[in-house]
Chains A and B, each alone.
Chain A
Amino acid sequence: MKTVKRLMCTILAVAMLSVILTACGQGANDPTDTLIFAQGADPRGLDPAMVDDGESSKVIVNIYEGLLQYAKDSTKLEACLAESWKVSEDGLTYTFNLRKGVKFQDGTDFNAEAVKVNIERQMEGNATADMSYAGFVFGTVSKVEATDESTVVITLKEKNTAFLYNLAMSLAAPIVSPKALKDNNNNVNEHPVGTGPYKFVRWDKEQAIVLVRNDDYWGEKAKTKNVIFKIIKDNSARVVALNNGEVDMIDGIDATVVSQIESAGNKLDQPDGMNINYMAYNTTTPVFSKPEVRKAFSQAVNVPELVKSLYQGYASPADSILPSFVPGYAKDVMQVTYDPEAAKSVISAAGITSVHVITYSNPRPYNTANGQALAEAIQGYLSKVGVTANIEVFDWTTYKEKVKAGDYDICFYGWTGDNGDPDNFMALLSDKDPSMNVSRYDNSEYKDLIAKGKATPEGPDRDAVYAQLEKIQVDQNPWLLISHSKLLSAYSPKIQGYYYHVTGNIFFSEMTKTK
Chain B
Amino acid sequence: MLEYILKRVLFFIPTLFVITILTFALSVHSPGDPVEVMMNINAENAQDDNKIAKMAEYEKMREKLHLNLPVFYFSLSPLSEPDSIYKISKKLHRENLLRINDNHGNWQAVSNYYQSLIALEDKLIITKVVDTLADKLNLMKQALNDLYYRHEDEHIQQKIAFISQQAKVLNHQEINAAVDHLSASFKVLLSDETLWKCYVPALYWYGSENQYHVWLVGMLHGDFGISYYKQQPVIDLILDRIAPTFVFSLLSVIIAFLVSIPIGMNAAIHKGTLKEKSTTVILFVLYSLPGFWVATLLINYVANAEYLGWFPVKGLSDFEEGASAGEQLASCLHHMVLPLFCYVYSSFAFISRQMRGSMLQTLSQDYIRTAWAKGLSPRKVYWKHAIRNSLLPIITLIASIFPGLIAGSVVIEQLFTLPGLGMLAYEAQVIKDYPVIFTIMLFSAILTLIGYLVADILYALVDPRISFGKK
Tell me whether A and B are bound partners: no
Residues of B bordering A, CB below 8 Å: none
